[in-house]
Amino acid sequence: MRARQVSEPQTRPPLQSELTRVVGPIVDRALLDGMGSAIALGVITTSGERAVLTRGTTLRVRRRQGRLVTAAGLPISRTSVFDLASLTKPMVTSTLLAQAVTSGKIDLAQPLAHGLPAARDTSLGGQSVRSLLAHGSGALAWRDFYADTAGLSPDARQAAICSAVLNEPLAHPPGSKAVYSDLGFIALGLLLEAVYDTPLDQLFAERIAAPLGLSSAVFRRVSAKPASGDAVVATEVWPPRCPLGDPLQGVVHDDNCAGLDGVAGHAGLFSTVDDVLTWALTWLLPACGVTAIGALPPSLVAAWVSTAAADETTWRCGFDTPSTGYTSAGSLASVAAFGHLGFTGTSVWMDPSRQAAVVLLTNRVHPSRDQAVLIRQLRPALHDTIWRLLDERPVDVAD
């Protein structure tokens, strides 16, 4: 870990004012360019200092008679809830697995079927938990199970998707290459439910959200039919699921997760930026060698963020690491950094060398997923700006 400048807290300029001054214009420009309607950005350090920047509205368009029309959404704030998409993987599935490994309930070396009887004699059943966690099991990246199960009742659809995930033939020989796989994490979610005999959303609420005080981080079951999604940031105007032209709002964007009633190991979690920042310390503190209440064991975190399941991959157990060339973490991220992205425009990157984590929440798929170039430009630009900001200001070294 590189040396860091230390100063008394009272001599330090507020991180909040610096974030607003330096990063605010970049965020404003992204929204003007049409990258969704809302951005919430947060930074947290191991000393507990945090800063949050919010811009935009919960939505900006609807589709009427085949064309997009302006729709005035609510201004967002720190209490605005975003669809986290694949940040569900590290926040829920990987964190619950880390807890289960720490307590001895799950062994990463054991095959999936050891703890999930439904996986016996299936394609994924013989793959190790570690290989699924690090995307080296050979599992297919994605398949549209939602469309494949159209017409089934909700219960029958869930059962059919779970069975299809476990029985989908491997796309590659195990360990030959790492391929980011939703199927692997859906299977890991099923494993956790089987081991604890408890639904995944309840496991998250009891074992992560409650102990950490995450008041807004929840799964939103499709069957619950929320009365209003107005306080939730909208995602896509997705024709297969938006027949009236209103965007998905308050219901999960990921189709396969929607087919699983909004609760799955790969997607489905909704949260505010502050709750994601609080959760990030669970991994950031031990990555910096700090043992803290509610955080994971430093030895486990060190092993997970350095263990790959295949050669020539940036993927580790539960997290990605910066790649050469383009990386969403920015060119200034250290080699120790680790993080994860979400399809809706979300991300978290933790850099132990700077003892800080950066959380970016957007609805870049609103109104359409087609403008991916904008989020690809924003992510590295934002992160490099924040890494520079952190490097230039004196900070406290974690205890």
- Under a CB-based contact definition with an 8 Å cutoff, are residues 179 and 135 in contact? yes
Query: Per residue in 347-363, pLDDT tens?
Result: 999 999 999 999 999 99
pLDDT of residue 341: 98
Which DSSP letter does residue 121 get? Answer: T
Please count the other Cβ atoms lying within 10 Å of the Cβ belonging to residue 149.
18
Q: Band of the pLDDT at 396, cuts 50, 70, 90?
A: low
Handedness of CA 218, 219, 223, 228 (dihedral sign): positive
Q: Rounded CA gap, 211 and 107, in Å?
A: 24
In angstroms, rounded to a whole number, what is the distance separating the alpha carbons of residues 208 and 390?
A: 28
Q: What is the mean pLDDT of residues 159-167?
A: 98
Which DSSP string do the residues of 342-358 spell out, in sequence order? ETTTEEEEEETTTTEEE
Q: Are 298 and 355 in contact (CB under 8 A)?
A: no
Q: Hey, which residues does 361 pair with through a beta bridge?
A: 40
Partners of 299 in the β-ladder: none
pLDDT above 90 for 263: yes
Report the distance separating Cα 195 and Cα 376, nearest Å: 38
Q: What is the pLDDT of residue 371?
A: 82
Q: For the chain, what is the mean pLDDT?
A: 94
Mean pLDDT along residues 212-241: 90
- C-alpha distance from residue 272 to each of 3, 78, 233, 342, 354 (Å): 33, 7, 10, 14, 23
Kindly list the structural domains of the chain, giving each domain's residue range(s) and its CATH number in brackets, ordered by start. Answer: 9-87+215-392 (3.40.710.10), 89-212 (3.40.710.10)
Cis peptide before 367 (omega within 30 of 0): yes
HSE-CB at 165 with a 13 A cutoff on CA atoms is 32
Q: Is the dihedral of CA 191, 194, 196, 197 positive or negative?
A: positive
Q: What is the mean pLDDT of residues 120-135?
A: 98
Please, which pLDDT band fits residue 398 given cuts at 50, 70 and 90?
very low
Sign of CA dihedral 95, 320, 398, 54: negative
CB 282 within 8 Å of CB 290: no
- How big is the chain, counted in residues? 399
* DSSP at 206: I
- The reported pLDDT for the residue numbered 227 is 58
Tally of CA atoms within 13 A in the half-sphere of 265 that contains its CB = 25
Please tell me the distance from the alpha carbon of residue 271 to that of residue 90, in angstroms, as a whole number.
13
pLDDT for 11: 61
Is 314:305 a contact under the CB 8 Å cutoff? no
pLDDT value at residue 244: 92
314-346 tens-digit pLDDT: 999 999 999 998 999 999 999 999 999 999 999
**pLDDT tens, position by position, 30-89:** 999 999 999 999 999 999 999 999 999 999 999 998 899 999 899 999 999 999 999 999
Residue 342 in contact with residue 85, Cβ under 8 Å?
Answer: yes
How does residue 9 score in pLDDT terms, banded at 50, 70 and 90? Answer: very low
| pLDDT score recorded for residue 88 | 99
Per-residue pLDDT, 8: 47
Question: What proportion of the chain, given as a percentage, has pLDDT over 90?
Answer: 91
Stretch (H or E) spanning 38: strand 38-45
Can you give the pLDDT at residue 7?
44
Are 361 and 85 in contact, with CB atoms under 8 Å apart? no
Rounded-to-integer distance, Cα 104 and Cα 339, Å: 25
- Predicted local distance difference test score (pLDDT) of residue 231: 84
* pLDDT for 239: 92
Is the pLDDT at 175 greater than 60? The verdict is yes
Share of the chain above pLDDT 70, in %: 94
Show Cβ contacts of residue 41 under 8 Å, excluding neighbours closer than 6 positions: 19, 23, 27, 52, 53, 54, 273, 358, 359, 360, 361, 382
Phi-psi region of 66 (alpha: psi -120 to 50; beta: other; left: phi over 0): left
pLDDT of residue 394: 65
User: What predicted TM-score, i.e. pTM, was given to this entire model?
Assistant: 0.95
